[in-house]
Amino acid sequence: MTQRLLRGRLLTFHREPQNGEDTDAYTYLEDGALLIRDGIIQDTGPFPTISAKAGDVPVTDHRPHLMMAGFIDTHIHFPQVQVIASWGAQLLDWLNTYTFPEETRFASDGHSATMARAFYDQLIAHGTTTAVAYCSVHKTSADAFFTEATRRNMRMLGGKVLMDRNAPEALQDTPQTGYDDTKALIADWHGKGRNGYVITPRFAITSTPDQMAMAQALAQEHPDCHIQTHLSENKDEITFTKQLYPQARDYLDVYQSYGLLGRRTLLGHSIHLEPREIDALAETGAHPVFCPTSNLFLGSGLFDHAGLSARGIANGIATDVGAGTSYSMLQTLNEGYKILQLQGAVLHPLQAFHWATRGNACVLGLEDKIGTLAQGSEADVVVLNARSTPAMALRMDRVENLAQELFVLQMMGDDRAIEEVYVSGTPSKFAGPQPERAKVPA
């Protein structure tokens, strides 16, 4: 039995704050503690109370830093780690110029394994303890993704993409091989350890009707799997989709007509939605996923978080690396705040940090396991240092309350603000290989 007692300032959410004054939505302790046993939070509360119960359990003191649940990223592309920050294109050109050539490399077991290690190192370095990932079309990429997740005991979700047209031949499966590979991956990984499989038709443009029917069969056979795809990111994408599926009422109807909408469905981007599509999202409980850095980078448009939320639709928020420009959920919240500002909407820092933790856990239906520091939750914890850079420290000298500190982290923070990360109760940020220092010429 492994036990650990973490001490520090503690913040955890019970529900989404309605505004900055909604103190009942969260618990904040100036001197808090987490008692962890075998990767599960056994107790949480004021340090004197919890330490008295814990007895001689070793204490790790993170004061004055802030402890929260680890960040959750609900849309990221594992095979795109080496095309992040590739210059100058909108969605369809970006896919053809950068993404598709890069993803062909993941046919290799060795390359997939090497990139999986690098991918997970980046997630941990930026405080992300759970992510929902697209792998490449190759079964090898998904095997590497889940193998590395298992090695690190991380709660991760992902799936190989299904794509049988409008892509290079080396990136195409067939309806049958896509179905067979997905079935094998589900059997090998879904529900094993902390892994969850996600049925993943990339998007309507790269799947024929026959493949969409296979995705429908997979969803019916495995109703406990999540489903992920892309929706209405780019206007040219929407036009092309309607040409490929002329019988569909709109873009979303392609997925809806194949029975792919439900509370486990994640729809990346969802920017340019028609009224009927919004109605369908509200009726089915499917979740749009806001990808602010990607939407700005590709010039895709502005996500209407306020409007969708007003309809009772629960939105995720995500990095979308590699079109997204940072692995950091802090920087994702930064850009999300600005996009909402452009639309006259307000994102309070307490709401922002709820979104990246418990909010995304609720979108996944996993709020009983991750996203909070509640008793019984899996012990995925991020420790945040709001004075991690000189500029942040200078600003913090004038900060007067928790909300202001969170906003400093949201607007100025990145991987340097991540003091430590616990995965299943194990300190993990400094466990892997550290980046090499640049060599100074003699």
Q: What is the pLDDT of residues 203-237, one digit of tens each?
A: 999 999 999 999 999 999 999 999 999 999 999 99
Q: Identify the pLDDT of residue 86.
A: 85
Q: Identify the pLDDT of residue 439.
A: 39
Q: Identify the pLDDT of residue 269.
A: 98
Band of pLDDT at residue 440, cut at 50, 70 and 90 = very low
Q: In the chain, what percentage of residues exceed pLDDT 90?
A: 91
Q: What is the pLDDT of residues 100-153, one digit of tens each?
A: 888 999 999 999 999 999 999 999 999 999 999 999 999 999 999 999 999 999
Per the DSSP assignment, residues forming a β-bridge with 162 are: 201
Q: Identify the pLDDT of residue 92.
A: 78
Least confidently predicted of 22-36, 80-94, 251-265: 80-94
Residue in the block written with tokens 């913040």: 11
pTM, entire model? 0.96
Q: Which residues contact 337 (CB under 8 A, 6 or more apart)?
A: 347, 352, 410, 411
Band of pLDDT at residue 95, cut at 50, 70 and 90 = confident
Residue 378 has pLDDT above 70, yes or no: yes
Q: Is the peptide bond before 175 cis (omega within 30 degrees of 0)?
A: no
Average pLDDT, the chain: 95
Residue 423 has pLDDT above 60, yes or no: yes
Q: Identify the pLDDT of residue 264.
A: 98
Residue 93 has pLDDT above 80, yes or no: yes
Q: What is the pLDDT of residues 48-69, one digit of tens each?
A: 999 999 999 999 999 999 999 9
- Cα–Cα distance, 73 to 71 (Å, whole number): 7
Closest CA to 26 of 340, 357, 317, 332: 357
Residue 442 has pLDDT above 90, yes or no: no
Distance set, CA 218 to CA 132, 140, 214, 223, 274 (Å): 18, 19, 6, 8, 28
Band of pLDDT at residue 178, cut at 50, 70 and 90 = very high
Q: Identify the pLDDT of residue 430.
A: 79
Instruction: Give me 287's structure tokens.
Output: 């979740």
Q: Identify the pLDDT of residue 435.
A: 44
Q: Identify the pLDDT of residue 438.
A: 37
Instruction: Give me 169's structure tokens.
Output: 């031949």
Least confidently predicted of 100-114, 183-197, 387-401: 100-114
Q: What is the pLDDT of residues 10-40, one digit of tens each?
A: 999 999 999 999 999 999 999 999 999 999 9
Average the pLDDT over 335-358 and give the result: 98
